[in-house]
Amino acid sequence: MEFSASHPFYKHFEKIYGARWPKLFAALVTSEQQVARQNNLSPVVDLQTKKWSVLPQKPELPGCFWIPVGESCQPERNTDELLDVYIMDPASVMVARALNVQAGDRVLDMCAAPGGKSLVMIEALQEEGEIFCNDLSPERRERLKKVIQQYVPRSIRDRVWVTGKDGVQFGLKEPDSFDRILLDAPCSGERHILENKAAQDEWSPRRTEHLASRQYSLLSAALLAVRSGGRIVYSTCSISPTENDEVVRKLLKKKKEAVKLLEAPLGIGGERTEFGVAYLPDQCGFGPLYFAVIEKS
């Protein structure tokens, strides 16, 4: 891929990452590692009949089959007509599991589309509880609905609600209503920027700052909407500290005694930041993805 080292995007992150940046940049423009996560809502009795069953597994990420980079794995329908695996970034699985959803919880996935993390949480609810899968974009919401129909049995769909609110509204209209909230916030998504010439031309540090402001508003709303003792996982697919640790720092500074930062689980390939964990592709081959775990005091 042709990309000038004099481009403002390149120079901006070179200043942040220093000597690490060339390797990180090269990893961002290379195909990332993905996994086929087994759909546990549609049990497969004989795994040997499935093509994905021969893919390598790692004990650190149970239920996930690692797809060799450059190869593909197409989901297939089981006898119950549900799809057998969901293809996703390994870090996304770890982020969804970090929310530690329990049976019977009332859960909010504030920016849920396309739905891979929602599926992880729906499985964790087991036979009780409910989840609100929210996305403001009508187009993304339709994709989300389709994923739920393809992977979740009808008997469980009765406890899965797809909504289209601005996430800030949950804080204003449903305070202290949820046990667990995942905020996978809208972000710069630098990997996607590097795949899109128009996005590269539009990029500026000011856009990152604007997104960080929006992210903080959503995170503040999540804090209002979660119950006392409840948990929030804040995540982005950005490599910008402005959209990651700095958003969490602002929350800790402004909300003080109302917030407790929990230690984010350091999954396979993760590296600790000041407030959370980052998965960066030069280190682990997948991501980028950042997350922090917050408890409402």
Q: Are residues 110 and 47 in the same domain?
A: no
Q: Are residues 72 and 216 in the same domain?
A: no
Between CA 287 and CA 285 the distance in angstroms is 7
Residue 245 lies in a domain: yes
Q: Are residues 102 and 81 in the same domain?
A: no
Phi and psi at residue 159, to the nearest 5°: -110, 15
Distances (CA, A) of 214 to 125, 135, 167: 29, 15, 10
Confidence check: pLDDT of 19 > 90: yes
Q: Are residues 156 and 68 in the same domain?
A: no
Q: Are residues 42 and 189 in the same domain?
A: no
Active site residues: 237
255: domain range?
89-296
Residue 17 lies in a domain: no
Q: Are residues 161 and 191 in the same domain?
A: yes
Predicted local confidence at residue 249, as pLDDT: 98
Q: Are residues 279 and 133 in the same domain?
A: yes
Give the CATH number of the domain where residue 99 resides.
3.40.50.150
Between CA 204 and CA 196 the distance in angstroms is 14
Which pLDDT tens digit goes with each residue over 80-91? 999 999 999 999
- Percent of the chain having pLDDT more than 70? 99
Which pLDDT tens digit goes with each residue over 222-264? 999 999 999 999 999 999 999 999 999 999 999 999 999 999 9
Residue 38 lies in a domain: yes
Q: Are residues 185 and 284 in the same domain?
A: yes
58 token code pair: 């790692």
| N- to C-terminal Cα separation, the chain | 48
Number of domains within the chain: 2
Return the SS3 of 6: coil
In the beta sheet, which residues pair with residue 277? Answer: 272, 291
